[in-house]
Amino acid sequence: MLTALASGAKQDQNKNMAKDPTFICSKCNAATTKWSGKCDTCGEWNTIEEVKPLSTGPKSKKAMGGIRGKEITLTDLATTEKEPPRTLSGVGELDRTLGGGLVKASALLVGGDPGIGKSTLLLQAAARFARNGLKVLYISGEESASQVQMRARRLGLTESPVKLASETNLRDILTTLEAEQPDFVIIDSIQTMWLDTVEAAPGSVSQVRAAAHELTSFAKSRGIAVVMVGHVTKEGAIAGPRVVEHMVDTVLYFEGERGHQFRILRAVKNRFGPADEIGVFEMTGKGLAEVKNPSALFLSERGDPAPGSVVFAGIEGSRPMLCEFQALVAPSPHSQPRRTVVGWDGSRLAMILAVLESRAGVPFTGLDVYLNVAGGLRVSEPAADLAVAAALISAREDAALPKESVIFGEISLSGGLRPAPQTENRLKEASKLGFTSAITPVRAKRGGDAGVAVREMQDLHTFVEQVFGAR
Ligand code: TYD
Ligand code: MG
């Protein structure tokens, strides 16, 4: 029976292969074998596009040379290069996010909202790398070369030997790259590039996918580092860049809230370094400036102790970072109270509210709950649970927590508190910024408190009782 199933599956596969080209929804990336006006998966209209295969493959059996001679054994690793060669830009925040510098023969994607500062960041990076001896080419499909030059002048980068070009025809670009042999190329943006072999408009999934494929293989075969800029559309549809994410070695997202000047470059995928590493920048009148002490920046707007405000000692990538959680709790006029979150996970908030109610006796029924991370930072660590719970209770009870205290720890569904990784680093950072006390889960081994008075709590119930009084 099993074998019959397997061969059936194979037949299906063959059938699908014969039906190439397939169709892809530009909104949700669902693949189908026939065109339709409406996507069956996400229900969106006019989003189905035809996608031709990237290459037709070898024409005959003869053309298949096989891979003999190209294989290596793991033991060969001892004799080959241990680390890929890297170049530093000299901008610490950028180099760290890249995993310790730019890797030769690699493809990167830098995604982000339009207007967030991607072109500015990459022009500044281009200038830095050029000054450090790399041959850099910046190709813009969105602005003319003189516009990019004007921007460079505003940023004070006119001394840097970066070559600029304005072009969208990828065939022409690749020909130029072949002749110029640069070390580092910036393509701004991948959505403006088009290949004459693909019959679709620039920006469509087919064009973006084909262009990214060409550029990625070019980067690998010629030993060039290629950065592609990808716009994320308003609705959060990243159909274009999403398909590119799988092809490239490194994916960086440039984030930030419109009203704030902070910008965060976040590595969400990195074949050459740790993911989740972040770089913090500030958008100034003269471009992006690195922020060397992000904790101080994220806490700079804090005033006197206020109910609902809690300082969380977090870890972003490889370094500790303090930030402020703010909560507001108010009686709800709605039958279904509001739960609004900015900078944290909405379903995690629902979980904390449920645990607070059933394990610690703090109900939020009939109350609207608003939670915000100050400064436009986005936190995804479970260790923020206890800080969130503290902010919620503090807002609900209208009782401010001591100003010089930091809080962290993960909450389990049973109401228990789990110790957070790198507790010592968190405490050290808190101490550096003048905090004198901390509330944390019980650790297996005490020590390394960095002069901070640590109060350890066994579970959420104890925490509520000891911090907010018996109820
Ligand atoms: P840009 O790099 O063009 O964004 P993207 O390439 O992601 O679309 O940045 C545009 C914004 O940045 C624009 O709103 C103006 C602002 N900006 C500054 O505040 N200072 C500067 O020095 C520069 C160059 C831009
Ligand atoms: Mg731009």
Q: Are 306 and 385 contained in the same domain?
A: yes
Q: Identify the domain boundary among 245, 271, 291.
A: 291
Torsion-angle region of residue 100: left (phi > 0), alpha (psi -120 to 50) or beta? left
Is residue 446 pLDDT above 90, yes or no?
A: no
Is residue 13 pLDDT above 50, yes or no?
A: no
C-alpha 159 – ligand 2 centre gap (Å): 21
Q: Identify the domain boundary among 291, 325, 359.
A: 291
pLDDT tens-digit readout, 360-401: 999 999 999 999 998 888 899 999 999 999 999 999 999 999
Question: 209 in ligand 1 pocket by Cβ < 6 Å?
Answer: no
Whether 27 is covered by a domain: the verdict is no
Half-sphere exposure of 58 toward its Cβ, with a 13 Å CA cutoff? 7
Q: Are 343 and 390 contained in the same domain?
A: yes
Q: Which two tokens stand for residue 294?
A: 């992000």
Distances (CA, A) of 467 to 133, 390, 405, 440: 57, 9, 12, 12
- Cis status of the peptide bond prior to 189, with omega within 30 of 0: yes
Q: Which of 150, 283, 286, 288 to mutate to test the pocket of ligand 1 (most atoms within 8 A of CB)?
A: 283
- pTM surpassing 0.85? no
Whether 141 is covered by a domain: the verdict is yes
Q: Are 270 and 349 contained in the same domain?
A: no
CATH classification of the domain holding 117: 3.40.50.300
Residues near 112 by Cβ (< 8 Å), separated by ≥ 6? Answer: 118, 230, 231, 232, 253, 254, 255
Whether 43 is covered by a domain: the verdict is no
Is residue 7 pLDDT above 80, yes or no?
A: no
Q: Are 410 and 463 contained in the same domain?
A: yes
Whether 75 is covered by a domain: the verdict is no
Q: Are 244 and 385 contained in the same domain?
A: no
Torsion-angle region of residue 188: left (phi > 0), alpha (psi -120 to 50) or beta? beta
Q: Are 311 and 186 contained in the same domain?
A: no
Q: Report how far residue 192's alpha carbon sits from residue 215's, in angstroms, rounded to the nearest whole number.
A: 14
Residue nearest atom 1 in ligand 1 by C-alpha distance: 117
Q: Report how far residue 367's alpha carbon sits from residue 64's, in angstroms, rounded to the nearest whole number.
A: 67
Q: Are 243 and 340 contained in the same domain?
A: no
Closest-lying ligand 1 atom to the alpha carbon of residue 116: 7
Q: Are 403 and 380 contained in the same domain?
A: yes
Residues within 5 A (CB) of ion ligand 2:
119
Question: 116 in ligand 1 pocket by Cβ < 6 Å?
Answer: yes
Q: What is the spatial order of strands in the sheet that 48-51 belongs to?
A: 31-32, 22-25, 48-51
pLDDT tens-digit readout, 201-228: 888 888 999 999 999 999 999 999 999 9
Instruction: Judge contact between 21 and 53, C-beta under 8 A.
Output: yes
Q: Of the ranges 9-23, 117-131, 235-249, which is most confident?
A: 117-131
Q: What pLDDT sits at residue 471?
A: 53
Q: What pLDDT sits at residue 470?
A: 55
C-alpha 125 – ligand 2 centre gap (Å): 14
Question: 140 in ligand 1 pocket by Cβ < 6 Å?
Answer: no
Q: What pLDDT sits at residue 168?
A: 95
Q: Are 120 and 258 contained in the same domain?
A: yes
pLDDT tens-digit readout, 156-200: 998 889 999 999 999 999 999 999 999 999 999 899 999 999 888
More confident residue, 9 or 370: 370
Question: 283 in ligand 1 pocket by Cβ < 6 Å?
Answer: yes
Question: 247 in ligand 1 pocket by Cβ < 6 Å?
Answer: no
Q: Are 287 and 327 contained in the same domain?
A: no
Q: Which two tokens stand for residue 206?
A: 């087919």
Which ligand does the CA of 121 lie closest to? 1
pLDDT tens-digit readout, 319-344: 899 999 999 999 999 999 999 999 99
Whether 6 is covered by a domain: the verdict is no
C-alpha 292 – ligand 2 centre gap (Å): 25
Question: 282 in ligand 1 pocket by Cβ < 6 Å?
Answer: no
Whether 25 is covered by a domain: the verdict is no
Closest-lying ligand 1 atom to the alpha carbon of residue 188: 6
Which ligand does the CA of 263 lie closest to? 1
Q: Identify the domain boundary among 256, 291, 326.
A: 291
Q: What pLDDT sits at residue 67?
A: 77
Q: Are 312 and 407 contained in the same domain?
A: yes
Question: Which of 211, 400, 228 is CA-nearest to residue 308?
Answer: 400
Question: 153 in ligand 1 pocket by Cβ < 6 Å?
Answer: no
Q: What pLDDT sits at residue 258?
A: 75
Whether 11 is covered by a domain: the verdict is no
Q: Which two tokens stand for residue 356?
A: 């607070």
Q: Are 377 and 464 contained in the same domain?
A: yes
CATH classification of the domain holding 456: 3.30.230.10
What DSSP string describes 171-182? Answer: HHHHHHHHHH--
- Tell me which residue range forms the domain holding 426: 296-468
Domain count, the chain: 2
What DSSP string describes 71-114? Answer: ---GGGGGTS-SS--EE--S-HHHHHHTTSSEETT-EEEEEE-T
Closest-lying ligand 1 atom to the alpha carbon of residue 123: 2
What DSSP string describes 306-333? Answer: -TTEEEEEEEETTEEEEEEEEEEEEE-S
Question: 156 in ligand 1 pocket by Cβ < 6 Å?
Answer: no
Question: Which of 150, 103, 95 is CA-nearest to residue 123?
Answer: 150
Q: Which has the minimum average pLDDT: 128-142, 232-246, 377-391, 435-449?
A: 232-246
pLDDT tens-digit readout, 138-152: 999 999 999 999 999
Whether 353 is covered by a domain: the verdict is yes
As beta bridge partners, residue 313 has: 322
Mean of per-residue pLDDT scores for the chain: 87
